[in-house]
Structure 1
């Protein structure tokens, strides 16, 4: 049976120029490079320059994805941009990207599910393509988390970085089997009772300020491993697949220990997991598209590979998606 699939046409990413090594935190915090590496796997991260906005990062990633796909902005029908750090309360950061790339029609909007944002955005884009409301959609994850850090909190401020990644999806005909290229299945979840485990203590309606990030790290870790593995298994089951079929898990790059424990729980070896957390830190909604772009550019991911993407963030919100590259 012929079906419409949302197939990847290209991807790209951008990282700010400034690289912050773990040792840089030693001057202001009771921490060390060894402490950070042992507990998180992070070695360095990138911070946006003064005046460099989330939209700036997203635009550069968008142009990189267009070049990789051999397309122009005029070929894009829609932009779905995942971010928890928009330039402004409104309008959407996506509309800035729309203008910058020369996309004069269609639509552009943001989604907000924090670190799970890219999975939510890809699920949304897939639904728009499958329902015939767009032919070609750019899905972007872009963040400047360095703007919402409490620099006195060593448990959180060493974890996060800035960056952006973009993936272009286009409608194509498939046979309706798991051998098709494109998005094969998705799984979205949230549970607001866990709000206090990971949140930002500000906002337009509450404090009138941006606020800073607050996190109960141990509790987030505990929830992350169970929920990511369960969501990944659900997404695979919906596609008629199992963990044995997966070529690469592309997880949210939050913490190496979470990545390892989740892979172990799913019975997947680390030799089948894409890991970039050591170089990027936790870039929230940008982490999966960043990892995808880096892995594709290096040849680690090849056409036809089956990918399982999974992420969890504040809300708590979490989800997974299967994608044949």
Structure 2
């Protein structure tokens, strides 16, 4: 019989310093208006201060340590470290990955590491699904540490400056999964990718072309194709399929967590999911902007702390992955 896998603890490590969206638009030479402000629904974002402690990997290490402490888990009992980072890392070469550094510095020396990239904020659900499957199917594995650290490319915080889609902040997060955890049970995950959309959102170049000059890196979005992708329809279809497999109906779902991309994006999600998107998503979006995969641990923690869900409630996490990888996860509190 498969063992249920649940979230034992989660943590977010965010820079203390924040910048207003209006200041960032001015700094990046992007036109800021009341219309754009209303469409984005983002007031400020956390930004690293340049200190070594706020590099992506160091913030990831801090988040990992705190999550393990909250879970009261000995790092030596962690079986696998799963990374779900999105942005370029501090060593722009193909052989370096922060998950190895996290493993070493949190003391998870008996684990192995694996990482996922390329799915936008859906990366968290991809990592979640993979880790949960490993723990559920393998009797020799009990605990997984999921971790990310993402720092936005300087001068590239406004995604698609000609017609802004979101404003990106810096941050890190970590989640401890464990088989037979008492709550936060990961019921199932449904994933879907469209390979034709591989270049909707990407960073041209790569470490083999200009490995040492991060100023040459810029995230680009094909806005026309991004808009054309049926985000809400795809996520609702995946959700209905997932719920049917679990023997549930959408009426059984207490609330929905989505990515913190923009108020416009959330409005579409609210319509697709019958007004069940939790208010914590809007609150975190306004004060933090889009934090890539960290959106979900942040929203999960806020939902838990809000007291608006009770034991036994079902919660959906949904992400369209900027049109590349759509993901839906079902949790039971």
TM-score by structure 1 length? 0.87
Q: Deviations over 1:36-92 (max 9, x none)?
A: 431111111111232432111211211221222122322321111101223333332
**CA 1:10–1:162 in structure 2 vs 1: closer, same or farther (change >3 Å)?**
same
In 2 relative to 1, CA 273–100 (structure 1 residues): closer, same or farther, beyond 3 Å?
A: same
Aligned residues: 319
The residue that corresponds to 1:196 in the other structure is 199
Distance 2:155 2:323 in 1: 17
**Greater mean alpha carbon deviation, residues 8-17 or residues 79-88:** 79-88
Q: Distance in 1 between matches of 2:108 and 2:179?
A: 18
Q: Is 1:87 matched up with 2:90?
A: yes
Aligned residue runs from structure 1 range 41-80, under 5 A: 41-50=41-50, 51=52, 52-80=54-82
Query: Secondary structure in 2 aligned to 1:3?
Result: coil
1:246 pairs with one of 246, 253, 258: 253
Deviation at 1:10, TM superposition (A): 0.9
In the alignment, the residues of structure 1 paired with residue 267 and residue 165 of structure 2 have an alpha-carbon distance, to the nearest angstrom, of 22
Partner deviation per Cα, 1:258-290 (whole Å, 9 max, x = no partner): 222123113243457743211121111221112
The corresponding residue for 1:126 is: 132
Structure 2, unaligned runs of 5 or more? none
Tell me, what secondary structure is at the counterpart of 1:196? coil
**Structure-2 change in CA distance of 1:83 and 1:145 (3 Å):** same
Q: Verify the 8 A CA contact 2:190 2:242 in the aligned structure 1.
A: yes
Q: Identify which range, 65-74 or 37-46, moves more after superposition.
A: 65-74
Structure-2 residue corresponding to 1:237: 244
Contact 1:11–1:167 (8 Å) recurs in 2: yes
TM norm structure 2: 0.86
Is 1:182 matched up with 2:188?
no
Q: Determine if contact 1:156/1:215 at 8 Å carries over to the other structure.
A: no
RMSD, aligned CA: 2.7
**1:320 to 2:328 alignment:** yes
Gaps of 5+ in 1: 175-179
Match of 1:216 in 2: 222
Alpha carbons of structure 1 residues 87 and 135: separation in structure 2 relative to 1, 3 Å: farther
Q: Give the stretch that moved more between structures: 284-293 or 229-238.
A: 229-238
Would the alpha carbon gap of residues 64 and 107 (structure 1) be closer, same or farther in structure 2, given more than 3 Å must change? same
Distance 2:47 2:142 in 1: 34
Distance 1:273 1:142, change over 3 A: same
* Structure 1 residue 142 corresponds to structure 2 residue 149: yes
